[in-house]
Amino acid sequence: MKVLKSILVLLVFISATAFTFKTADSGYKIGDTIEDFTLKNVDEEMISLSDYEEVKGFIIIFTCNTCPYSVANEDRINALYNKYENKGFSVIAINPNDPSVVPDDSFEKMQVRAEEKKFKFPYLLDEGQKVYPKFGATKTPHVYIVTKNDMKVQYIGAIDNNSRNPEAVTEKYVENAVDALLAGKKIEKTETSAIGCSIKVKR
């Protein structure tokens, strides 16, 4: 009986430890320092965060061609670029979906979409799906605001409080966060729930 209890205690400990490790590895948290990455842009150029020498930070948005939530936010992403590029916060969009699962999220289709929507910001393909797991992104769209001087995550979540209808937005989370950083103030909401489609991977 004692042996059985010992085994059960050990199994519970192993399970709890495994869960703890899984949580710790589930992606960047607020205050974490991110790793640089290099991904291909729709113009065929390779883009790294280290290429941006003069910026104050990044608005990194995991998005795609096909998710209705992402499509509903494309004009808002363009607006973020127009508002903040000259203020030192660069928008970088990353498509995390596996194009073998969602053909309309292929690199070629990304090029077409970027041209149609006149994206001025980089639209990168996470080829091999190596970048989004490090961030812990789970949805499209999913936003991470990072400051350049320390490469730390300052905000994670949604663009605003109405992913489907821009006319119904009453709180602009990303704008509020970037405005606070530019003013040297504390961000009031550092995390919100990303609302969108799940990232598509091979099963």
- Class in CATH terms, 32-198: alpha beta
Tokens 């948290």, located at residue: 29
Question: For residues 163 and 72, what is the distance between their CA atoms, to the nearest angstrom?
Answer: 7
Domain locations along the chain: 32-198
* Closest alpha carbon to 137 in 65, 34, 52, 53: 34
pTM for the model stands at: 0.87
Q: What's residue 14's pLDDT?
A: 34
CB-facing half-sphere around the CA of 197: CA atoms within 13 A? 19
pLDDT at residue number 203:
79
Q: Give the position of tokens 């091979």.
A: 202
- Tens of pLDDT along the chain (203 residues) come to 444 444 333 333 333 333 322 233 589 999 999 999 999 999 999 999 999 999 999 999 999 999 999 999 999 999 999 999 999 999 999 999 999 999 999 999 999 999 999 999 999 999 999 999 999 999 999 999 999 999 999 999 999 999 999 999 999 999 999 999 999 999 999 999 999 999 999 87
Residue 34 pLDDT: 98
Q: What share of the chain is helix, strand, coil (3-state, %, to 5)?
A: 35, 20, 40
